[in-house]
Chain A
């Protein structure tokens, strides 16, 4: 049994038209050189190296311990069949031969596995790991992170110390049982906004405080922000967002700009839906805090109505990081309607009045955010 191959001796680029006669111990290679002499070479079967990659209709082998190697190339079909059926481990890769044997089926199966792993990691593994990582962070780390962010943000914020003190007094009256020490800041701004930082800091914009009409509405706002703090929403959001983004860019980054951009946008949309869930969780938790303090839960839907009135357009839910105000009014109203334990809290009312008085009354209209 012999096959036609091209042989290279590793010294010159001359293509030698050779025949190879393989047996179980080795290969005999024979060719006639330029001056008409027949050259015989033998390769020990165990030292033959197959090229590591599969290409249909082509095989190549190298031989030798050190560079440069002797080499055989062939596209002879009977030689390729012989190799594919060989039981010699170093000559053929059974897995590759099998996979490439039924190419279409293998491709579909691999694609299916790839999509399953990808979506499993993205939709299950990453959120679970990221969330549990944040849950297990020590209290000190969470506070340090919040302090660090605040130290950067605060340089651009015009903090009203007087109002901040009064807001703090208001919050101190509430029964919250918070793990984190709650510290409040009032910031001079025309915007209607408030936000919480991980570890206990709450920032409320002065214009929003001016629009708020009673202590129940303010409690709704504060309780909502406290929920973000207590449930470590900011860190959960950051951890999920970052790890998801790293995974997406690792998977699609090398592909091409277009796919990477599409994947990034898809990730952003899924992230928005997650933050909306967190917002709703904060609303519901806030309502519970209000109930615990026997404060009128109607403050929550009232607060949303004020925001709705002030905002020019209600952004559709899927484009926003908050649920639509219309929806928030509906579900908070539903919960408020069932409340039976409303008791007027005189101390809270008093603190609210002092706070309100400390703000300069200059009504302004601007966009809303929270």
Chain B
């Protein structure tokens, strides 16, 4: 009995204090500014909105903080735009020559370049986001090696293609394991212990049951997937693991997604900021941090001041969000 009660005391929850109307104001303000500046304001808009979510998220009576600046993100976008303009310029040039062999190889180069740039973008994005995220004054830090990650990604990508997608689940887990094992929060490290096989079966079950249940199985799938990711994540503090637990039930998933859908539908999208806030509030309610997680003894270890947002911007371009 003693053990259970200490466990209950030690259990911590992330709380989200954001308010729909407050975020809506920030959201609409930033959309307007982005529109009237023909998109130039977007980096600052993105930073302020992310910053709002960080600052509204609390663990153990302290809020998270996002330190990115509009100018860093803007510089990143310039780099990405230059790459895109060169790539598309090359493609348009190839189109105009009307030489089929040249055109085909140009398309090949175009997509190959895209593929090769993705692992670098992921690496840069994680390093940037980590460097710019803090809690209680302690920063995250990503220690992954760029080339090591690149080869891991390329290997996984080609294995996935050769196996007609079957390797996809293992590929995803390899990437996740690599990222988590190289992520630090002060002197804490992370670990992802999920297995490719488990993710594979979650996906297989989804494919099999989706059509039979006319799509209703999606709610179970969402829950299973979230649970797989959260439950398999752990923090290492002083050599001891601290576990996460995802306690959402399928009914909750249903409530979250259906209400979100209806809100967006009946307000023609105006409810978007309210839906974002609602989703964060909802999700964090079901994430528990177990064990004796000591939030007062984490030490800052040399900070990685990485200000290149290009990777983050590239993923943004592809509509791929890290969160």
Q: Is B295 an interface residue (CB 8 A)?
A: yes
Complex Cα distance A320/B6, Å? 70
Bound CA span A69–B137, Å? 7
B269 at the interface (CB under 8 A from A): yes
Q: Which residue of A is nearest B299, CB measured?
A: A12
A309 lies within 8 A of chain B by Cβ: no
Residues of B contacting A281 in the complex (Cβ-Cβ under 8 angstroms): none
- The answer to whether A71 and B25 touch across the interface, beta carbons within 8 angstroms, is no
Most-contacted residue by chain B among A56, A62, A67, A258 (CB, 10 A): A67
Distance in Å: Cβ of B292 to nearest Cβ of chain A: 15
Residue pair B32, A68 in contact (C-beta under 8 Å): no
Q: A111-B28, A258-B265, A259-B268 are in contact. Are A12 and B65 (CB under 8 A)?
A: no
Spot the interface stretch: A100-108, A165-173, A188-196, A284-292: A100-108
Say yes or no: B298 contacts A58, CB within 8 Å: no
Q: A99 to B303, Cβ gap below 8 A?
A: no
Stretch with Cβ within 8 A of A (4 or more), from B16-24, B81-89, B106-114, B216-224:
B16-24
Determine whether the beta carbon of B28 is less than 8 Å from that of A259.
Answer: no
Q: Which residues of B contact A252 (CB under 8 A)?
A: 269
A interface, over-half SS: mixed
Residue interface mask A108-142, B partner, CB < 8 A = 1:
00110110011001000000000000000000000
Contact B61 A56 (CB under 8 A): no
CB distance from B157 to the nearest CB of A (A): 26
Which one of B50-58, B143-151, B164-172, B225-233 contacts A? B50-58
- A60 within 8 Å of B (CB atoms): yes
Kindly provide the distance from the CB of A57 to the nearest chain B CB, expressed in whole angstroms. 8
- How many CB-defined contacts (below 8 Å) exist between A and B? 134
Q: Are B269 and A54 in contact (CB under 8 A)?
A: no
Give the distance in Å from the alpha carbon of A71 to the alpha carbon of B67 in the complex. 12
Output the nearest chain B residue to A72 by Cβ-Cβ distance. B137
Q: Report A-chain residues with C-beta under 8 Å of the C-beta of B296.
A: 12-15
Interface string of A73-103 (1 = CB under 8 A from B): 1000000000000000000000000011001
Contact status of A56 and B19, CB under 8 A, knowing A13-B136, A15-B136, A117-B36: yes
Q: Is A10 positioned at the interface, with any CB of B under 8 Å from its CB?
A: yes
Please report the C-alpha to C-alpha distance between residue A10 and residue B322 in the assembled complex, in whole angstroms.
Answer: 26
Q: Separation in Å of the A253 CB from the closest CB of chain B?
A: 8
Q: Which residue of B lies closest to A6 (CB)?
A: B62
Q: Chain A nearest CB: distance from B187 CB in Å?
A: 10
In contact, A56 and B25 (Cβ under 8 angstroms) = no
Count class of interface residues, chain B: 35 or more
Scoring A residues 24 to 57 as 1 if CB is less than 8 Å from chain B, else 0, what string do you get?
A: 0000000000000000000000000001111110
Nearest residue in B to A55 (C-beta to C-beta)?
A: B55
Q: Which residue of B lies closest to A70 (CB)?
A: B137
Q: Say yes or no: is B205 at the interface (Cβ < 8 Å to chain A).
A: no
Contacts of B21 in A (CB 8 A): 103-104, 107
Asked if A73 and B36 make an inter-chain contact with CB atoms under 8 angstroms apart, the answer reads no
B56 vs chain A, min Cβ distance (A): 6
Would A68 and B55 count as touching, CB distance under 8 A?
Answer: no
Beyond A12-B299, A67-B305, is A107–B52 a contact (Cβ under 8 Å)? no
**B63 touches which of A60, A67, A100, A255 (Cβ 8 Å):** A60
Q: Does B175 contact A (CB under 8 A)?
A: no
Evaluate contact between A255 and B300: CB separation under 8 angstroms.
no
Residues of B within 8 A of A179 (CB): none
CB distance from B114 to the nearest CB of A (A): 20
- In the complex, A4 Cα to B102 Cα: how many Å? 69
Q: Please pick, from A6, A13, A258, the residue contacting B138 in the complex, using a CB distance under 8 A.
A: A13
B209 at the binding interface (Cβ < 8 Å): no
Q: Name the distance in Å between A223's Cβ and chain B's nearest Cβ.
A: 34
